[in-house]
Structure 1
């Protein structure tokens, strides 16, 4: 069968849904990439992709090829990792998936320290929303991911790294601002600045609010905690954020209040259960577990 490189190229085009974007990602020219796809189609005798100016949609045959191509590239990556581990313990490349919320909070310092300790291990970080990180670890795009618990422990190894409480943020002159502790039930008539759906916190907090007896009135959804807090400071609504984010807010227009319900934000490094984890990957996990994030 045609080159493994052709399969890798096909996986990237399918992932980006665009020959242009895949070509940029792979640092190859678009004509070379199109030629590679056409060669694969010719060899298999089937159309794998419907190309238009904007996007490239895969056909039913393409979906079958994609499924096998992903398995094959994952096995090849594992083979490379295993061979690297036999020759050198402190080399390698780790692909890590991080939700943006988490990346900006905990990881710059840890990554700098890790890079200083293990300069020969490359860290390839990709920021995705939480649900997509989990899916990408499951599919093998990332060797490691960071996710919000709970997570399916039948599919993943879970290494807890952070556990902290969620806090309520209100405007300084808000009618609840004089309180030290608030029951979620008291927020029934409030307008929420909420997390985007792709964040695990969206569903976690929505479940807690519904358990308190009401559906939250969501004024605005965001994927950026600094924007969420700025909107509270402008008296546009209330929000609920993890303690470590609250620790970074130095806005005198915001009052931070404890919630009567102790809602915990738990983060963990996750790896796929049946996947070979490289020495570089295991080194990174051990490093994070030994660091105080």
Structure 2
């Protein structure tokens, strides 16, 4: 005897096709078998689910109500089965990573390349947002993993550090000779400052630390990317706050010069986070293993 789940699968297919014969073709069943399944379900529920017509079958009001729930349930089961099949041996599937532009370019790219080389059939979806914007996306399921600037404080997220970075101030040739070393934070406010957008976690970290020293900094220029900070400082539009580890080429070639400060901004971390309450997919797990060098 056909089981209850199969009965609902037949019911949903007839509801979608609005035809017993079309549903039979989709299900690779005979039309009498489909009709018998619907009759059995109607008997068990003691209610008529379809109105039979010469053109096919339409759901009754009660049938429409049941279809709304049954179809959702069948779709969820199908989605679960699909996830299991996709995750087998990482042959199919999707990995959704949220990350900022700067971390993408200077940190994430080699790990993405390694993962893609090992698992070319896993579709990579990269979402570019600020670290603070990525946390809600993790919670809503829009992304699987977020690569972020720390600190991030959220008890619902598993947060793991990958690297430490140092925020520094840099300038071009025109400002190099105007500055005496070492500088303190009070000195900085006398020069045009170039900082990231206020929504940036990096900007907020630097600003908060300097403010804790009793100095409020107000930038003349606010930019949306780390690369632009470097380029604007290069043409002497002001003093830029950048990440030292991501500015090596400019510093080593003498394009920009690091300001000697009387006090360094404490190092901060970058890493990844994911939702504690949801199990990681095999693709997410493997990507994390690559990030951690395993």
What TM-score do the two structures reach when normalised by structure 2? 0.66
Q: Which structure 2 residues correspond to residues 117-266 of structure 1 after superposition, within 5 A? A: 117-174=118-175, 175=177, 177=179, 179=181, 181-249=182-250, 252-259=254-261, 260-266=263-269
1:103 paired to 2:83 = no
In structure 2, the residue matched to 1:30 is none
86 and 165 in structure 1: CA distance in 2 versus 1, 3 angstrom threshold = closer
Structure 2: give runs of 5+ residues left out of the alignment. Answer: 1-11, 13-63, 66-72
3-state SS in 2 of match to 1:154? coil
In structure 2, the residue matched to 1:284 is 287
1:195 & 1:164 partners in 2: Cα distance? 16
2:180 & 2:153 partners in 1: Cα distance? 40
261 and 176 in structure 1: CA distance in 2 versus 1, 3 angstrom threshold = farther
2:99 & 2:151 partners in 1: Cα distance? 16
1:269 paired to 2:272 = yes
Q: CA RMSD in A?
A: 2.8
* Contact 2:163/2:269 (8 A) holds in 1: yes
1:108 & 1:214 partners in 2: Cα distance? 36
3-state SS in 1 of match to 2:211? helix
Structure 1: give runs of 5+ residues left out of the alignment. Answer: 4-42, 45-71
State the 4+ residue runs in structure 1 displaced beyond 3 angstroms: 75-82, 84-91, 175-178, 250-253
2:198 & 2:77 partners in 1: Cα distance? 34
3-state SS in 2 of match to 1:218? coil
Aligned residues: 220
Q: Which structure 2 residues correspond to residues 74-89 of structure 1 after superposition, within 5 A? A: 79=80, 83-84=84-85, 87-89=88-90
1:210 & 1:220 partners in 2: Cα distance? 19
Greater radius of gyration (CA): 2
3-state SS in 2 of match to 1:189? coil
The Cα of 1:80 is off from its aligned counterpart by 5.8
252 and 286 in structure 1: CA distance in 2 versus 1, 3 angstrom threshold = same
3-state SS in 2 of match to 1:229? helix
More displaced stretch, 196-205 vs 260-269: 260-269
The Cα of 1:81 is off from its aligned counterpart by 7.5
How big is each residue's C-alpha offset from its partner over 1:225-282, in whole Å with a ceiling of 9 and x where there is no partner? Answer: 2221222122211111111222132664421135422422311111011012101101
How big is each residue's C-alpha offset from its partner over 1:32-84, in whole Å with a ceiling of 9 and x where there is no partner? Answer: xxxxxxxxxxx99xxxxxxxxxxxxxxxxxxxxxxxxxxx9xx8898367524
More strand by share: 1
More displaced stretch, 257-266 vs 110-119: 257-266
More displaced stretch, 154-163 vs 250-259: 250-259
